Amino acid sequence: MTGFRPAYPLLTERLELRPHRMDDLDDLFAFHSRPEVVRYTPWPVRDREETRVALERKLPQGELTEAGQWLVLAIELRETGTVIGEVLLKWASEADRQGEIGFALNADYQGKGLAAEAAREMLRVGFEQLGLHRIVAVLDDRNTASAQLLERLGMRREAHHLQALQFKGEWANEYVYALLADEWRTGPVSPRPGSAGSDQG
């Protein structure tokens, strides 16, 4: 594969997933600046200028040109046009068809099934469009809300790594969740009419 770019926007029942634009800055700052949102993300609490610099780096991340890169997409609430979070898909290996997903959501919009709706769509893109065989999610084991979300999507916990890395000044434990393409095709997480947005987390 020489490159991959989904046909944007990616639409779900309530969301539009698309590459970032510079006019996303205010919405991005609204949650990049909140400690409760970034507690388990790789980035720290950011001020407006730090958020602007980060946003500029995200602008070209709407396509993949080689393995090792991430798709980084804005999660836009279709009803209001507000960017409420971000969802990510890594093309981890071309030869082994491996991927990884991640997500972050403004705390004001959590508990409504929106992160699950975005993550489900990225699983679909990874398996059905990018042709991945296996997609994982790696998270801090204290992030119980995200772990429950992944389990509702049908992902299975495959590993628990103790003191796996230094994370924001302390040793952190990691969970690894995974889903195979065959499980996506035959399991309860594959999209069906009326299923989008049914999760609570």
Domain boundaries, the chain: 11-186
HSE of 85, CA atoms in CB hemisphere, 13 A: 23
In angstroms, the CA 69 to CA 147 distance is: 24
In angstroms, the CA 193 to CA 107 distance is: 28
Q: Which residues of 147-186 are buried (b: 16+ CB within 10 A; e: fewer)?
A: bebbebbbbeeeeeeeebeeeeeeebebbbbbbbbebbee
Whether the Cβ atoms of residue 109 and residue 77 lie closer than 8 Å to each other? yes
Tell me the CATH class for 11-186.
alpha beta
Cis peptide before 188 (omega within 30 of 0): no
- Residue 77 C-alpha from the chain's centroid: 15
pLDDT score recorded for residue 3:
84
Q: What is the pLDDT along the chain (201 residues), one digit of tens a residue?
A: 668 999 999 999 999 999 999 999 999 999 999 999 999 998 999 999 999 999 999 999 999 999 999 999 999 999 999 999 999 999 999 999 999 999 999 999 999 999 999 999 999 999 999 999 999 999 999 999 999 999 999 999 999 999 999 999 999 999 999 999 999 999 865 544 333 333 334
pLDDT score recorded for residue 187:
80
In angstroms, the CA 26 to CA 39 distance is: 20
Sheet holding 82-93, edge to edge: 10-11, 15-19, 70-77, 82-93, 98-105, 134-140, 170-180, 156-167
- Residue 79 C-alpha from the chain's centroid: 21
CA dihedral of residues 67, 121, 80, 35 (deg, nearest 10): -60
Nearest-5° angle of CA 14, CA 92, CA 134? 70
In angstroms, the CA 123 to CA 10 distance is: 12
